[in-house]
Amino acid sequence: MIKYARLLLLPFSVIYGIVIIFRNKLYDLGFFKSTKFDIPVICVGNLVVGGSGKSPVTEYLVHLLADYKIAILSRGYGRDTKGFLYADQTSTAKSIGDEPLQFYHKFPQVTVAVCEDRVKGIKQLKDAHDVIILDDAFQHRRLSPGFSILLFEFQKLLETQFLLPAGNMREPFRGYKRADLLLVTKSPWQISELQKEQCSSHFNKSAVSNQLFFSSIHYKDLQSLFSSATLNIEDLKNKKIFLLTGIANPKPLFDYLLQFSPAIEHHDYPDHHSFSSGNLSKLVKAYIQDQAKEKIIITTEKDAQRLFDVTIKELLLNLPVFYLPININIEADCKKTFDQKILKYVSDTTRDR
């Protein structure tokens, strides 16, 4: 059914592609204005709708650039508000979005803000910061970032992809040529040379030799949602897992948890889904009625931000709810080069104060 629906939508994808190519060309030729700033601006983006691992990469940059005063600027996808807002102690996933809220909770030393107009947002932030990291702004052509990191999810890179609306690509694949670094995310922990070659075949030789890097996911210890308690991943053995996700691609997480427990009941929702009382009541009912002696509720760090809402938080308070933080590992042989390219850009661009 999906295959036939895609075929029906292909003509619209062709029209969409023509419009996007024409729009990009007008920006490239200078007919449309693109604003550039004298402060280091790093864009983390992708070519597709949905997650490619932008949040872990943004967090990687925060650690890498720890010596600078950093601001993270996001659109705030899924929020109920408009305009420019700073994240603060009153912020919720509904007011600023789940990913900005995650950054705010994780990095108290970093300014986190949201604004759908990135140019306006940078103007608000630039005078008080050394570096601005843009979360998901590669297609925001009104802005010309100084440095762009474009992400490609490993598994999707090996598959045929289509432009919207038949597929999930925001623009034609050749858009990668605007990026400074190309990072394949969610790669196997021990990626083979053949797998690398399969990924590399999509890019020109210059990009492969100078810009293409590979990374994998590293899962950390489980963190309690409502306390400071942690749980080693090995402790999941013999436990029944109730997995709650609202992310674009939960398969890597599901497969990872299968290594520790074959008993997983997955409550899966669309990316950025706003969990309702009904959703959580269904989860709690399934948990309570299950006969397993050892059981646990697990969610992602991003999804956890939407569970702090006062209207649903109480449903989970007395249950063992944990989230699984992740970070990325850049392939060891290339990590130094990857880091140096970013650090050199920031050092060369940092203005005199």
Q: Residue 120 carries which side chain, given as an amino acid letter?
A: K
The percentage of residues in the chain with a pLDDT greater than 90, rounded to a whole number, is 89
pLDDT at 6: 78
Q: Which residues contact 97 (CB under 8 A, 6 or more apart)?
A: 74, 75, 76, 77, 78, 79, 114, 272
Q: Which residues contact 1 (CB under 8 A, 6 or more apart)?
A: none
The residues pairing with 109 across neighbouring beta strands, listed in sequence order, are none
pLDDT at 312: 86
pLDDT of 320 > 90? The answer is: yes
Confidence of residue 8 (pLDDT cuts 50, 70, 90): confident
Question: How many angstroms separate the CA atoms of 27 and 178, rounded?
Answer: 12
pLDDT of 2 > 60? The answer is: no
pLDDT at 4: 66
Q: Which residues contact 250 (CB under 8 A, 6 or more apart)?
A: 243, 266, 268, 300
Confidence of residue 310 (pLDDT cuts 50, 70, 90): confident
Q: Which two tokens stand for residue 87?
A: 């994240």
In CATH, what class is 2-218+329-349? alpha beta
252: left (phi over 0), alpha (psi -120 to 50) or beta: alpha
pLDDT at 3: 64
Closest C-alpha among 198, 215, 191 to residue 54: 215
Give the distance, in angstroms, between the CA of residue 272 and the centroid of all CA atoms in the same chain. Answer: 11
pLDDT of 9 > 80? The answer is: yes
pLDDT at 7: 80
Phi, psi of 328 (to 5 degrees): -110, 150
Question: How many angstroms separate the CA atoms of 244 and 246, rounded?
Answer: 7
SS3 at position 161: coil
pLDDT at 192: 94
pTM attached to this predicted model? 0.94
Closest C-alpha among 59, 28, 11, 10 to residue 175: 28
CATH code for the part of the protein at 221-324: 3.40.50
SS3 at position 96: helix
Q: Which two tokens stand for residue 80?
A: 């109920």
- Each residue of 324-353: pLDDT tens digit? 999 999 999 999 999 999 999 999 997 655
Q: What value does the mean pLDDT take over residues 234-257?
A: 94
Question: How many angstroms separate the CA atoms of 123 and 146, rounded?
Answer: 15
CATH 3.40.50.300 maps onto the chain at 2-218+329-349
DSSP label at 33?
Answer: -
